[in-house]
Structure 1
Amino acid sequence: MPLIEDVLASGTNLFDFLVRGGLADTRRTPSTIIAEGPKQTVHRYTEQVPVEGPPVLLVPPLGAPAVCMDLRRGCSLAEHLVLSGRPTYLVDYGPMAFEDRAHGLEFWIRDVLPAAIRAVSEDRGGEPVQLVGWCLGGLFSLLTTAAFAELPVSAVAMIASPVDLSKVRLADPLRLLGKVTGGQVVGTALRTLGTVPANLVSLAFKTTALSTYLRKPLTVFKYSADRDALAHIEAVDDMMRNMYGYPGRAIAQAYHRLVRANELATGRVEGPTRTVHLSDVRVPVMNIAGDSDVLAPEAATHHVVRVLPNAPEVRLHTAPGGHLGVLTGRTAAETTWTYLDSFLDES
């Protein structure tokens, strides 16, 4: 029989979680804006210990708010890097509106990320920048580095960034639909919508972990005595309620180029005005897969080693967690972040 103290603690935790909220410490790591531009705000996190080494720029994906890099105190990659004494920065795209519908993937690769990299380098006296990107943010980092060799980039660390999309079984229905219709159904729908609304992005993300959401009541009850576990569920739920929309052009390109044509897996991506060759990447690269990630499974993520023949080093790791958990789950500090620290220290 559970002790009366455990029963009381569970009751208090469940009341706070279900009624009062506020279990998660979601205070953001303090930062200062150092540069702004179209769809980009570059933050420098406030130093909390003496800093040294090259600057690190956190690169989020589209769809997820930039707080994915700073989820909650104790499970914040930004906080970890700051407390480790690294000069740490973040590029935030902000929410997407209907007027952003014409922005394609090339906008982030050609305009947004290069400007953010230069701003960070200049803020650190011209030092080269280490890029750390999650999901599509990792692919943006890799493609930008390949496209612009003159940029001051010294390393690219990717977390849950799928390179061979044929290994993402969740995308099989979209590939089949594209094969049958020549991509017209999805393409027409995206042109009609103009953007993919934030609520649909949130729903789609939840659908990828449907079993987790269906089991949520049982999970909450199971961890009712674990206040930190409930706090993490609360922080993730809060992020999911605040997802961003996708520009229609960008998501259409992702569908046609990355899902249907699987161009990344070939090491060559056709842009509107130029072809980007991943063989032009000449800095160390790392990609970390989540062992239960259905959006970026290990086979899709680790394929990156096959398309970077000229990178001096390509590190591959697998850590516990799904798509978000591998980045900022409760075990990330002992796994993903440890791999990341070693890579940044040695690159």
Structure 2
Amino acid sequence: MDLVPLRSVPGAGLLPGPDQVVAAASNVAHKLLYGGVADLRPMPRTLIDEGTLREVYHYRPAGAVKEQGDPVLLVTPLAAPSSCYDLRRGCSLVEHFVTEGRPTYLVEYGEVSFRDRNLGMEHWVDEVVPTAIREVSAHAGGRPVHVIGWSLGGIFSMLTLADERSGALPVASLTVVGSPVDVSLVPLLAPFRPLLNFFNGRGPISQGYQLLGGAPKPLVKWAFQLTAFQKLVTKPIALATHVDDREFLAQVEAVDHFTANMIAYPGRTFGQLYHRFAKGNQLAEGLFELDDRTIDLADIDVPVLVFGGSTDGIAPVPAVRAVVPLLTNAPEVRFEVVPGGHLGMLTGRAARTTTWLVMDEWINQHSGGVAPTPIGTSPKRRHSSSASRALSK
């Protein structure tokens, strides 16, 4: 018979039970002796390709596990560390894929400095993401790649696959996790949008990122924390009331570690995101002006899986779901609502039995080793989008 924590029993009072006291004492001792209760060891990996702000890694199989099937490529967003996919042991999407034998790869960008201030989004859409896809396919024996992008990583992935300049990429499917397409549907930005348009490019934000050469690491960290301000305020209370719950404490530690390792934005890229994305809301119509061309999301012609987080404040469900009717040339579009906030939907405790299982099903469904039709050469196909369904915890 399972023991119910005393705090979860209505009217049970405030005194903890004996089991809770023992668990709490153990967690406090572990925190004092070892600095924490979370296992933050990253999964073993090997660098297979690198370039300017481009590092492509292959995660080595664990023990006697044999890799099989088509590879997955995890695309990190700018400013976020790669630990978004490898948060902690037991709550790591990388660990999940590796232990089940899926060839697993990741592209990250290293440290962004002032000297990178002139790099725009073109660098990621034209060079970083397509090069990573080709390198992963080659390393995996020429098999097509399942691309998975979280947040801005999903935006970069969509723009790459929609861009004719990328050419024929060996992609089996695309998964987009928490990537807002219509920012007018993001409540956090709603109060600021009139101000952004009022200043017309001459406001403090524009002048600030131009002066600093981008968005520095402390500012990025502060902005991410601000989006979860309520949780930040109530965090001491949550920790005090869950001191006997090692899984809860480990997750808090892992998220704190993730937030502490945020990375800066290059100046030109930040400017493009600010003016064309946050202020101009260009992607809401499926179009994005980049360099000397306009990229149309309708040109994506691989199957697309889209996730929205039920409590995501950065990318609310409506802002993410807005991409579905824009993907008119994709052979299949599936939209899923899963538990969690912006990070939690990807690597929270509930993601293990929701998001990850849907990903497994999707990848298996669209695997087979057959080379995809080169982008931009296939005829227009009938758009089929599955109905969204909410997955409970």
Shift of 1:19: 7.3
Q: SS at the partner of 2:16? A: coil
Residues 289-300 of structure 1 correspond to what in structure 2 (within 5 A)?
289-300=308-319
Partner of 2:245: 226
Counterparts of 1:244 and 1:254, CA distance in 2:
16
Residues 61-92 of structure 1 show CA distances to partners (whole Å, capped at 9, x for unaligned) of: 01111111111001101111111221110111
For 1:253-332, what aligned pairs fall within 5 Å after superposition?
A: 253-332=272-351
Aligned partner letter, 1:154: A
Q: Unaligned 5+ residue runs, structure 2? A: 1-14, 367-393
- Aligned residue for 2:25? 11
TM (norm. structure 1) is: 0.97
Q: Which residue is equivalent to 2:5?
A: none
Give the C-alpha shift of residue 149 in structure 1. 4.3
Cα pair distance change 1:251/1:18, threshold 3 Å: farther
Residue in 1 that maps onto 2:391 = none
Q: 1:2 aligns with which of 16, 20, 25?
A: 16
Aligned to 1:72: 88
Q: Deviations over 1:238-261 (max 9, x none)?
A: 111111111111111111111121
Aligned match of 2:168:
150
Q: Residues 118 and 21 of structure 1: is their aligned pair in 2 closer, same or farther, counting only changes over 3 Å?
A: same
Where structure 1 has 5 or more consecutive residues not aligned to the other structure, the ranges are none
2:134 corresponds in structure 1 to 118
Deviations, residues 258-296 of structure 1 (Å, cap 9, x unaligned): 112111111111111211111110000111111110110
1:137 and 2:156 equivalent?
no
Runs of 4+ in structure 1 off by over 4 angstroms are: none
Q: Is structure 2 residue 365 aligned with structure 1 residue 337?
A: no
What do residues 156-190 of structure 1 show as CA deviations (whole Å, max 9, x unaligned)? 10111111111111112332112111132122221
* TM value normalised by structure 2: 0.86
- Indicate the SS of the match to 1:179: helix
Structure 2 counterpart of 1:204, one-letter code: A
Equivalent position of 1:22 in the other structure? 36
Q: Percent identity, please.
A: 46
Aligned partner of residue 276 in structure 1, secondary structure: strand
Contact 1:149 1:280 in 2 (8 A): no
Aligned amino acid, residue 310 of structure 1: N
Please, which moves more after superposition, 302-311 or 176-185?
A: 176-185
What number of residue pairs does the alignment pair up? 347
Conserved in 2, the CA contact under 8 Å of 1:44 and 1:90?
Answer: yes
Whichever residue aligns with residue 39 of structure 1, its letter is L
- Work out which of the residue numbers 253, 256, 270 in structure 2 matches 1:251: 270
Closer/same/farther in 2, CA of residues 288 and 40 from structure 1, 3 Å limit? same
Aligned mate of 1:37, from 43, 51, 68: 51
Mapped to 1, the partners of 2:32 and 2:200 lie a distance apart of 47
Within the candidate set 57, 62, 72, 2:78 is matched to 62
| Structure 2 equivalent of residue 104 of structure 1 | 120
Q: Which residue of 1 aligns with 2:194?
A: 176
